[in-house]
Structure 1
Amino acid sequence: MTDEVRAAMNELFAAERRLRGRDPHRAGDLSATQVRALFQLERGEACTAGELAKRADLSPASMTALLDQLEQSGIVERRRSEKDRRQVIVSLTDAGHEVLAAKRARIEERTREVLGVHNDEELDAAARVMRSLVELLDSLGK
């Protein structure tokens, strides 16, 4: 049974790597990395690029490039902090909130389609197993 869980975990990691590696198929569409960063920005609202990089688990250089693209698309805006003029604060624009809401709706719809075949007991068990795997992975790095 452990081998089956390990194999499924490797398949999940591979699917996640494929998702991260995919460029958007259509002009104006967001990459998985951009979506992850935007969800983190939405969750915590306005913050510095460095804070957002930490939340989204990206390097500061990657975050700067990502924000450049998102700002050009009108999805985020950067402005000087009123409290500390050395800091630049990133926030979602109204258009960014709309784009993110549409993306979230598509993700939630697809999630319901894929996970809807499982009952609550199966989903609860899957969540417990995934949390155990998180604990395993975190403990391997210590």
Structure 2
Amino acid sequence: MSHDVRAAMSELFAAERRLRGRDPHRPGELSAAQVRALFQLERGEACTAGELAKRADLSPASMTAMLDQLEQTGMVERRRSDRDRRQVIVSLTDAGHETLAVKRAKIEQRTAEVLAPYSDEELDAAVRVMRSLAELLDSLGR
């Protein structure tokens, strides 16, 4: 059984790496990294690019380039902090909120389709297993 869990975990990590590496196929479509950053920005309050990079697990340089693109497309706006003029604060625009709402609806629909065959008990067990594996991964770097 342990071998099957390790194999499934490897498959999951590989799928996540592929998702991170995908670029948009159509002009105007957001990349997986952009969506992840926008979801992180939506979950918290407006923040600096550095804080957002940490939340989205991206390098500060990648985040700056990404924010340039997202600002050009109207998804985010940057402004000087009222408290510390050296800091630039990033926030979602109305268009950014709308785009994320559409993206979230698609993700939720697809998730519901994929998980529909499983019982509540199976899903509860999956949640416990995933949280245990997350704890395992976090403990490996200590």
Q: Structure 1-normalised TM-score? A: 0.98
Gaps of 5+ in 2: none
Runs of 4+ with deviation above 3 angstroms = none
Q: Structure 2-normalised TM-score? A: 0.98
CA displacement at 1:47 relative to structure 2: 0.7
CA displacement at 1:141 relative to structure 2: 1.1
1:129 aligns with 2:135: no
Instruction: Name the counterpart of 2:112.
Output: 112
Number of residue pairs matched by the alignment: 142
CA displacement at 1:119 relative to structure 2: 0.9
CA displacement at 1:79 relative to structure 2: 0.5
Q: Structure 2: how far apart are the matches of 1:118 and 1:65? A: 41
SS at match of 2:68: helix
1:86 aligns with 2:68: no
Gaps of 5+ in 1: none
Cα RMSD between the aligned structures? 0.7
Instruction: Name the counterpart of 2:32.
Output: 32
Instruction: Name the counterpart of 1:61.
Output: 61
Q: Structure 2: how far apart are the matches of 1:18 and 1:100? A: 21
Q: Structure 1: how far apart are the matches of 2:55 and 2:22? A: 21
Q: Structure 2: how far apart are the matches of 1:21 and 1:35? A: 13
Identity of aligned residues (%): 83
